[in-house]
Amino acid sequence: MNSLEMTVRETGSLFTVDARALHEWLGVRKDFSTWFLNQVDRMDMVDGIHYEVVFPLKGENSGGRPAKDFTIVITVIKGE
């Protein structure tokens, strides 16, 4: 098991993790966006319920198209 630490955030009554950190922790070989979209489809995840789109704060973008990040509700990860 990978020793990378993931930060768990509490949002209201839900606990979430950063999807990119989870992708790295799992050691997935597919690029992040392909992997994430496959997981959304495979698990019938719904934006705003099972995951949330997170945009970088103004000034954190390194140029080009703005990056989209995602947080995933922990119960989805556990398969509950």
Answer yes or no: is pLDDT of 41 > 60. Answer: yes
Name the DSSP letter for residue 37. Answer: H
pLDDT tens, 14-37? 888 999 999 998 899 999 999 999
Residue 5 pLDDT greater than 90, yes or no: no
Under DSSP, is residue 18 helix (H, G, I), strand (E, B) or coil? strand
Question: What's the whole-model pTM score?
Answer: 0.74
Q: In sequence order, what are the residues at sequence separation of 6 or more whose Cβ sits closer than 8 angstroms to the Cβ of residue 19?
A: 32, 36, 51, 69, 70, 71, 72
Q: What average pLDDT does the segment 60-72 reach? A: 72
